[in-house]
A and B are shown apart, each in its own frame.
Chain A
Amino acid sequence: MNVTPEEAQEALAAIQQTTVKTRRGLAYYAYQQILWGLLWFVGFLISQFVQPATLNWIWIVMPILGVIGSAIVGISQGRCMRITPDSRLAFISSRVGMFFGILYGFGIIWFVVLQPLKALQIALFWITLVMFGYIVAGAWLRISLLIGIGVGVTVMSLLGYYLLPGYFYLWSAVFAGGTLLGSGIYILLRWR
């Protein structure tokens, strides 16, 4: 078959356009990252400026919104794509999901047992717990970005906790929430 250079260029452009459109539309993990980054950012930002008594409500509502949002993302993406059943990727994916489920379960146990905790300690506890998950998942899956996010946010959170306790929530909004949000957007834009 004969294809002119112009036709070849058109075909390659169509391939690129379709590739970008597909990846942007089905970037499940990027959307989840953006969702939770936004919730952390808003949650910590509000926490900086409200009365301590309101903090409990914020951090009950935010995770609920996160779970609802995650379910919406999961269901809408699930209609468009899925991991091949019984594949190696399905096995790995289920194990990662199981790991995070167990991690959060133990997080709740530790949270209850370690009471009473101060408000800042509670915030740092959950931030570092989630980042522990990122680091382990990153090491397991060999995804250096996850490890970088986990280590970076942990270090910055510890710095904020010890050096700027009066502004820790604001600090966390930027360095914890902002990092998740920014990295999610980065993944979305770079995966093309």
Chain B
Amino acid sequence: MAELNEVIHQPIRLRIMASLVALDEETQVGFNYLKDLLDLTDGNLGAHLRKLEEAGYITMTKTFVNKKPHTFVEATESGRQAFAEHVAALETILNGNKRKV
């Protein structure tokens, strides 16, 4: 049975993972794009990304584009799996409540 994931369930991290998993595998999203999408500061986003990276759910790649530093973020396979399990657990909670009603 799918279980809730405490790391992913935090609202900002949940939306980060939703954004990363929304795209195909082997696709990376830019740090600034995530920042704008989620309306976060650099520090706030960075802290949540580090938490997800420590859990092994994302990888971050620092590179240069036209001599400017860019960070790209990608969900790992375990991250995608953990997110799918978390979504399934949320749906179970919701469907369980609907059945009671």
Residues of chain A at the chain B interface (Cβ within 8 Å): 1, 3-5, 8-9, 11-12, 14-15, 18-19, 21-23, 25-26, 78-84, 87-90
CB nearest neighbor in B for A2: B4
Q: Does B78 make an interface contact (CB < 8 A)?
A: no
- Classify the interface of chain A: helix, strand, loop or mixed: helix
Determine which residue in A4, A15, A87, A88 has the highest number of CB atoms from chain B within 10 A of its CB, and name it: A15
Residues of chain B at the chain A interface (Cβ within 8 Å): 4, 6, 9, 11, 14-15, 18-19, 21-30, 32-33, 37-38, 65, 70, 72, 74, 87, 90-91, 93-94, 96-98
The total number of A-B Cβ pairs within 8 Å is 95
Given A18-B18, A81-B29, A89-B27, 17 new contacts (CB under 8 A): A1-B6, A3-B4, A5-B98, A8-B94, A11-B90, A14-B11, A14-B18, A15-B15, A19-B18, A23-B22, A79-B30, A79-B70, A80-B30, A81-B28, A81-B33, A83-B27, A90-B26
CB distance from B11 to the nearest CB of A (A): 7
CB nearest neighbor in B for A26: B23
- Classify the interface of chain B: helix, strand, loop or mixed: helix
**B33 is contacted by which of A3, A80, A89 (Cβ under 8 Å)?**
A80
Interchain residue pairs A-B with the least CB separation, the first 3: A5-B97, A80-B33, A89-B26
A residues less than 8 Å from B93 (CB atoms) = 3-5, 8
- Report Cα–Cα, A81/B29, bound state, in Å: 4
CB distance from B73 to the nearest CB of A (A): 10
A residues less than 8 Å from B11 (CB atoms) = 11, 14
User: Do B33 and A11 touch across chains, with their CB atoms under 8 A apart?
Assistant: no
B residues less than 8 Å from A79 (CB atoms) = 30, 32-33, 65, 70
**CB<8 Å pairs between A and B, sample of 29:** A3-B9, A4-B93, A5-B93, A5-B98, A8-B91, A11-B11, A11-B14, A12-B90, A14-B11, A15-B14, A15-B18, A15-B87, A18-B22, A21-B37, A22-B23, A22-B29, A22-B37, A23-B22, A78-B65, A79-B30, A79-B33, A79-B65, A80-B32, A81-B30, A82-B27, A83-B27, A84-B74, A89-B24, A89-B27
- Report Cα–Cα, A88/B27, bound state, in Å: 11
- Report Cα–Cα, A3/B90, bound state, in Å: 8
**A25 is contacted by which of B37, B72, B87 (Cβ under 8 Å)?**
B37
- Report Cα–Cα, A3/B27, bound state, in Å: 31
User: Do B18 and A81 touch across chains, with their CB atoms under 8 A apart?
Assistant: no
**A18 is contacted by which of B30, B37, B65, B87 (Cβ under 8 Å)?**
B37
A residues less than 8 Å from B65 (CB atoms) = 78-79
B residues less than 8 Å from A14 (CB atoms) = 11, 14-15, 18
- Report Cα–Cα, A9/B38, bound state, in Å: 19
